[in-house]
Chain A
């Protein structure tokens, strides 16, 4: 069974640009969550999608948005990038009946 796949693996952008990150969950998983990890920090929850609906949202500005498609694949978009958005962005998927959350390898975003 393939794991959670995130693309691209690395991304370099400049301030003011926008970026879209992609996440393909484990087959059969309908819940997809997104997290931001900055150096020395734990994982900060961005949002969770389930069946194409945003079910939970963390404390991030509106520049951070996401969506989920009917095949459960999810995308995360960050507009008007700031230097502080440089981070490892992690996606995770789960069954809702099995309390395990599986992570992808992440997308390392650098904003110059």
Chain B
């Protein structure tokens, strides 16, 4: 039973437009959610996080929204840039952090110039 799901394996957007990546989870006990970006043969790079007590967190071009009732979170990238092209993972964590973390399978974002 996969507790964190990213239902879109890939997403393609035009440079300058908004990219929206989605993630669903099933376990309401998760306390933190993080988004990572990953290039081939490299470790994931931390992008942004959100605590379960918040519904929005913003950092520059990146905004994460959390809808606890729907068990859904999304990452918005505005404006999208070609350098944003990578695989994006959402991950859920318990307490104490990081605990027994669960990652989604990833969404490959392609930003076209």
Contacts and interface: CB of A to CB of B under 8 A. Distances in A.
Contacts of A35: 103
A101 B42 contact: no
Contacts of A88: 41
A55 B98 CA distance: 10
A56 to B, nearest CB: 4
Contacts, number: 76
Interface residues of A, number: 31
A25 to B, nearest CB: 12
Given A42-B103, A45-B102, A99-B51, A90 B97 contact: no
A88 B38 CA distance: 13
> Interface residues of B toward A: which range?
20 to 34
A44 to B, nearest CB: 8
Nearest to A40: B105
Contacts of A108: 41
Nearest to A103: B43
Contacts of B113: none
Interface in A46-62: 48, 50, 55-58
B61 to A, nearest CB: 18
A100 B34 contact: yes
Contacts of A31: 97-98
A48 B95 CA distance: 12
Interface of A: 4, 6, 31, 33, 35, 40-45, 48, 50, 55-58, 88, 90, 92, 94, 96, 99-106, 108
